[in-house]
Amino acid sequence: METEKTDFLIIGSGVAGLRAAVELAPHGEVLVVTKDVLRESSTEYAQGGVAVAMSDEDRVGIHFEDTLKAGDGLCREEAVRVLVEEGAQKILELIEWGAEFDRAGTKLDFTLEAAHSRRRVLHAHGDSTGKEIERVLINKVVSLKCVRKFPFAMTVDLVMRDGVCCGAYILKEGRMYQVLARATVLATGGGGQIFSRTTNPQVTTSDGMAIALRAGAVMEDMEFVQFHPTVLFAPAAPQFLLSEAMRGEGGLLRNIYGEPFMENYHPDAELAPRDVVSRAIISEMVRTESMYVCLDLTDLDARFVKKRFPRIYRTCLQYDIDITRDTCSPLHDGRGQDRYIRTYKHCRALCCRRGYLYRGSRGKSSCKQQSPRRACLWCKGGPGCR
């Protein structure tokens, strides 16, 4: 077994892992380990946008209340307050690093999505927000000479000595490495692949949870599985996400008889929290004895739809669905555990020295499009990374 040493070991290369690498780089050598190429993570597939209270009509306090309401009383208010108060700073930071969010004239363009009472969701290239944020963070990481990349490598276990994490055992090209580090960050993403239908990439296999559990970390809120309400359901089609922004811009959910049904389940109809929408879709499928429901954007201007959802439009066309003229058939999508290791500062990345861990800003459900900003905030650093 070969032994390598670094100051900071980061396992995972999504927005959480990359942002942690940027933050830790001034303090020592950083090694980023990932199972695939650096860009392959759930971040790349995020479409809709990132929520932040920066528009003229919005206020941080309103965003705070919306988040607590969506969390159904199960959020930690301290975590939510940090999320909404510091979010704007992180967006401006991404813009400074080169992020190209969509604009209406000279102003940032905000849209409305589920559980938000104001237009506060920023998006990039229409429906490729995650890909744009990832591009910016990868470019930033690549520019830092003290950050090394370790792609196509599988983390097997953490190195534990007297209850303290000292690094990880990593398998690469058939060889086992013992990587020793002053601090180890688990930013391994979720477990979408345990579900029969998921839009998560192949690398989301829950192994980060197993690694943490074997090391003695406390697993918390495992019952809170994040379900995205809509994924493309068509012959030979991939598990392709249909963004919640499609409903935010005016798309309607209809059953197989063409009847809109969301008002029967929640007063906010298509803009209800995602857990409500997911249950409503399943209930309607059971009631009508069908395999799917339909998402209808045909009342929207075709030019607007093509500009706002270019990636979705092109993908659906490959399966003979023109979303400007046809209704597409979505089925709800099991995404996988979103919050699983109790953490010092309610984050998706776990700084492992002695790893203190708790439930944070999500609660039972969430306001849509908070995840990218949450990852940037919580991966700024913690007490175990000093």
**Catalytic center residues:** 274
User: Hey, is 111 helix, strand or coil?
Assistant: strand
Neighbours of 164 (CB within 10 A): 11
Which residue pairs, CB below 8 angstroms and at least 24 apart, start in 316-319? 316/232, 319/232, 319/234, 319/235, 319/236, 319/237
Going by their DSSP bridges, the two strands 350-352 and 175-186 should be labelled as antiparallel
As a whole number of angstroms, the distance between CA 29 and CA 368 comes to: 35
CA of residue 178 relative to chain centroid, distance:
30
Pair 91, 52: CB distance under 8 Å? yes
Taking each helix axis from N to C terminus, what angle separates 129-142 and 371-378, rounded to the nearest 10 degrees? 20
CA 94 to chain centre: 16
